[in-house]
Amino acid sequence: MKNSLWLVVGVGAGFLLAHRVNSTPRGRAFFEAVDESTRRFGFAVAEGYRSRDAELRGRDTRDTDDTTGPTPR
């Protein structure tokens, strides 16, 4: 219970601090830069996932069309 209270206090203090920092022009610029970096990272991860997914799906299709393997009885 004590640890939960410290967690809630820490999250609340973090939000208050972020709100104060965001109210200044330099703080706003900082958060915009962090937001832009986070979005670019997210898009890169999503693109990598889509690329790998397409690659694996391509392999799966070729594997099922392969007729060189043993024939089922």
Tell me, yes or no, whether 29 lies in a domain: yes
Tell me, yes or no, whether 15 lies in a domain: no
The domain tally of the chain equals 1
Tell me, yes or no, whether 36 lies in a domain: yes
Question: Which pLDDT does position 73 carry in this prediction?
Answer: 52
For residues 70 and 25, what is the distance between their CA atoms, to the nearest angstrom?
69
For residues 30 and 21, what is the distance between their CA atoms, to the nearest angstrom?
9
Question: Which pLDDT does position 71 carry in this prediction?
Answer: 53
Write down the number of H helices and E strands in the chain: 2, 0
Tell me, yes or no, whether 49 lies in a domain: yes
For residues 30 and 36, what is the distance between their CA atoms, to the nearest angstrom?
10
Scanning the structure block, which residue is given the tokens 């069309």? 65
Is the pLDDT at 67 greater than 70, yes or no?
Answer: no
pLDDT in tens, 6-18: 999 999 999 999 9
Question: Which pLDDT does position 1 carry in this prediction?
Answer: 82
Tell me, yes or no, whether 10 lies in a domain: no
For residues 32 and 16, what is the distance between their CA atoms, to the nearest angstrom?
18
Segments forming the whole domain that contains residue 57: 25-63
